[in-house]
């Protein structure tokens, strides 16, 4: 039987970031991944990073390319009633966010960890988690047709919403909170110059729209669509026409269009599993929580989990203390629920929930309040850039 200190299930950004941070502190790990490296690297996901996430990537030694190519944003626009109001993130909070795609983060982590000798097993199947309530947990799996088993001290479940780690926990030991939203996001990626140097969030009677980017030459745009919609019903021309209709006229006139190189429809949901620790098994990122993308918190919450867990493991191995490990779930959930509150509020504010003129008028009243109240703008800004870390979060 093989032996390691930490088995990490999932080689996405959270799994490899955790492995990289542990290695820099002399803690060995084995990472198990169901998919191929190419598949994991090719996944297109969001990429708006809080400063805490940027700092953690630098701490892991994988922030060099991000520093060169990432786009630092000091604000964003909220558009409604044919006009746009800028939220001055830096002026209101002294902080900012960085646009750097998750695909690029994955490549940086692959180079930093995998290409430098990190132990990642791709293409594993039939993963089984055992003994996580004991002092000697084990993870078995099949790779290249051979059944293998690894003994370890701890297991980190970085394997996403559909992964095996959370499903290995008895239903009576875990409590699930969730909410499904009655709409989806239709998103396209196009090699065209972005509409603006900063993101634009639009509230419109026809539905929400978001103008984002991956670089100075690659744009990412989203529109709200029904849950039963299909990609086939949205040829490029129809998408661009609909996006224009939801933007202020001055913005719509500047929109540069082009063929979509990727198009997808994504449902929106809120999901939290409590607790996030079960003996020596720790749930990280999407395995424990999912937020609607409106507040750009998904990847940042996963990075926050990694930050708390890796520091707790370092404390365990260096000082022989389990205090931080014992606090992992409570600290993680305190931050998760604050992000859930913000993401849910921002989603409710910007989207249309059916043909309800009264509800839309309330949205507009709150949006006007945001533009008129420095305190309201500051509250939005401080949640958007990411709440500060302290002992409770």
So where are the chain's domains?
Answer: 2-52+64-69+100-177+269-351
Give dist(CA 109, CA 56) in Å, integer: 12
Q: For residue 392, what pLDDT is reported?
A: 47
Give dist(CA 250, CA 202) in Å, integer: 13
> Does the annotation count 293 as an active-site position?
yes
Contact 11, 33 (CB under 8 A): yes
Q: Nearest 5°: phi and psi at 82?
A: 75, 10
| Beta pairing partners, 79 | 84, 202
Reference 188, options 227, 228, 226, 242; nearest CA is 242
Q: How big, in percent rounded to 5, are the helix, strand and coil portions of the chain? A: 40, 30, 30
> Does the annotation count 73 as an active-site position?
yes
Q: Nearest 5°: phi and psi at 323?
A: -60, -50
Q: What ranges in 83-189 are assigned the alpha helix state H?
A: 89-93, 102-112, 164-167
Could you tell me the two tokens for 1?
């039987």
Q: For residue 43, what pLDDT is reported?
A: 80
Contact 47, 214 (CB under 8 A): yes
CATH of domain 2-52+64-69+100-177+269-351: 3.50.50.60
Give dist(CA 360, CA 338) in Å, integer: 25
Residue among 100, 132, 181, 201 flagged as catalytic: 201
How far CA 339 is from CA of 250, 259, 297, in Å, comes to 33, 35, 7
Residues 6 or more apart whose Cβ sits within 8 Å of residue 86: 75, 76, 77, 198
Report the relative pairing of strands 154-157 and 6-9 from DSSP bridges.
parallel
Per-residue pLDDT of the chain (393 residues; tens, 9 = 90+): 899 999 999 999 999 999 999 999 999 999 999 999 999 988 877 789 999 999 999 999 999 999 999 999 999 999 999 999 999 999 999 999 999 999 999 999 999 999 999 999 999 999 999 999 999 999 999 999 999 999 999 999 999 999 999 999 999 999 999 999 999 999 999 999 999 999 999 999 999 999 999 999 999 999 999 999 999 999 999 999 999 999 999 999 999 999 999 999 999 999 999 999 999 999 999 999 999 999 999 999 999 999 999 999 999 999 999 999 999 999 999 999 999 999 999 999 999 998 889 999 999 999 999 999 999 999 999 999 999 876 445
How many Å is the maximal CA-CA distance in the chain?
A: 65
Contact 211, 200 (CB under 8 A): yes
Contact 188, 228 (CB under 8 A): no
Contact 185, 225 (CB under 8 A): yes
Q: Tokens 């269009």: give the residue.
A: 257
> Does the annotation count 201 as an active-site position?
yes
Q: For residue 42, what pLDDT is reported?
A: 85
> Does the annotation count 297 as an active-site position?
yes
Q: For residue 390, what pLDDT is reported?
A: 60
Contact 179, 54 (CB under 8 A): no
The model scores a pTM over 0.75: yes
How far CA 393 is from CA of 59, 65, 120, 307, 339, in Å, comes to 19, 29, 30, 11, 11
Residue among 293, 316, 328, 351 flagged as catalytic: 293
């Amino acid at each position: 039987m093989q032996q390691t200190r930490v088995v990490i299930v999932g080689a996405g950004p959270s799994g490899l970031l955790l492995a990289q941070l542990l290695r820099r502190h002399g803690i060995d790990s084995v990472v198990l991944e169901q998919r191929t490296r190419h598949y994991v690297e090719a996944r297109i996901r969001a990429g708006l990073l809080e400063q805490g996430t940027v700092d953690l990537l630098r701490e892991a030694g994988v922030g060099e390319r991000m520093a060169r190519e990432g786009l630092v944003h000091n604000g964003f626009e909220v558009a409604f009633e044919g006009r746009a109001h800028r939220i001055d993130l830096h002026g209101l909070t002294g902080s900012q966010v960085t646009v750097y795609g998750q695909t690029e983060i994955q490549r940086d982590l692959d180079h930093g960890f995998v290409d430098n000798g990190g132990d990642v097993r791709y293409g594993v199947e039939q993963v089984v988690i055992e003994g996580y309530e004991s002092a000697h947990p084990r993870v078995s799996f099949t790779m290249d047709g051979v059944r293998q088993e690894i003994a370890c001290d701890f297991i980190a479940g970085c394997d996403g919403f559909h992964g095996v780690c959370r499903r290995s926990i008895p239903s009576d030991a875990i409590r699930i909170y969730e909410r499904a939203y009655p709409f989806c996001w239709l998103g396209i990626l196009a090699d065209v110059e972005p509409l603006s140097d900063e993101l634009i969030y639009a509230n419109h009677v026809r539905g929400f729209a978001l103008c984002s980017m991956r670089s100075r030459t690659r744009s990412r745009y989203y529109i709200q669509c029904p849950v039963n919609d299909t990609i086939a019903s949205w040829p490029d021309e129809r998408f661009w026409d609909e996006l224009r209709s939801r933007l202020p006229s001055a913005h719509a006139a500047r929109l540069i269009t082009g063929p979509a190189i990727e198009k997808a429809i994504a449902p929106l949901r809120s999901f939290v599993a409590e607790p996030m620790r079960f003996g020596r098994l720790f749930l990280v990122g999407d395995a424990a929580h999912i937020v609607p993308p409106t507040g750009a918190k998904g990847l940042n919450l996963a990075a926050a989990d990694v930050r708390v867990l890796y520091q707790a493991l370092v404390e365990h191995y260096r000082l022989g203390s389990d205090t931080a490990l014992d606090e992992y779930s409570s600290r993680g959930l305190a931050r998760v629920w604050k992000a859930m509150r913000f993401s849910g509020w921002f989603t409710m504010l910007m989207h249309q929930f059916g043909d309800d003129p009264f509800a839309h008028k309330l949205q507009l009243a709150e949006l006007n309040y945001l533009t008129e109240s420095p305190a309201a703008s500051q509250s939005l800004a401080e949640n958007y850039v990411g709440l500060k870390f302290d002992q409770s979060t």
